[in-house]
Amino acid sequence: MDNELMSISKFLSYILRHKPEEIGLSLDAEGWAQVDELLAKARQADRPIDEEKLHQVVEKSEKKRFSFSKDGKKIRANYGHSIPVSLGFEAHEPPEFLFHGTAVQFLPSLREDGIGPGTRQYVHLVTDRSTATDVGRRHGKPVVLTIKAHVMYTKGFDFYKTEGGIWLTKNVPAQYIIFEER
């Protein structure tokens, strides 16, 4: 994704996941915004986006961060919200293990409290260590935690898989985390 599309993607993530009110945008209960309203409000906020670039961002996002409604008139972020939305996820049985990337400085609290969603609605988990390492690197010296996802599932925890392959759950208690010392 080129720099312009990356900038648009970051703007959309901020607006559609966290602060739609910053540009006066309305989201419905499922997080959908009208495309024409989004484009108009972005233009009014000096962040003009043309419809072609919007489609490119949705199509080229490796993590499938956004999607259009079937009729193409609405857009939403697929996950990562800090605002309450109902995305209509169906629970899925996860693999035996999933991974969570974080930074070393957070380990003491994670050992005690487990992993919470922080400012988001869900904890984000991935299926590969490499992606988890990249996520952890954003916050400092990275560390990858192994999550006993299937055991959690058998104990009644719900897991949801996004279109982009990110796994979501409400929280991960410390007893389901494998802390590897390196």
pLDDT score of 102: 95
Q: Is residue 56 part of a domain?
A: yes
Q: Is residue 40 part of a domain?
A: yes
pLDDT score of 59: 93
Q: Which residues of the chain have pLDDT under 70?
A: 181-182
**Alpha carbons 12 and 178: distance in angstroms, whole number:** 34
Taking only the tens place, the pLDDT of each residue in 1-39 is 789 999 999 999 999 999 999 999 999 999 999 999 999
The continuous run of DSSP H or E covering 57 comes out as: helix 51-60
Q: Is residue 82 part of a domain?
A: no
Domain holding 42, by residue range, is: 3-77
What's the CATH number where 161 sits?
3.20.170.30
pLDDT score of 38: 98
- Do 130 and 173 share a domain, yes or no? yes
* Tokens standing for residue 52: 């072609």
Q: b/e for 123-138, b at 16 or more Cβ within 10 A? A: bbbbbeeebbeebbee
Is 121 in a helix, a strand, or coil?
coil
Residue 178's CB: how many other CB atoms inside 10 A?
11
pTM summary value: 0.77
Q: Is residue 91 part of a domain?
A: no
Q: Is residue 160 part of a domain?
A: yes
Q: Is residue 22 part of a domain?
A: yes
CA torsion angle 81 28 158 167 (round to 10): -40
What's the CATH number where 23 sits?
1.10.10.970
Strands (E), 22-178: 33-34, 66-68, 74-77, 98-103, 123-125, 142-147, 160-161, 167-169, 177-178
pLDDT score of 181: 57
Q: Is residue 46 part of a domain?
A: yes
168 contacts 136 by C-beta, under 8 angstroms: no
- Do 172 and 127 share a domain, yes or no? yes
CA angle 40, 24, 7 (to 5 degrees): 65
Q: Is residue 26 part of a domain?
A: yes
Half-sphere exposure of 159 (CA within 13 A, CB side): 25
Q: How many domains does the chain have?
A: 2
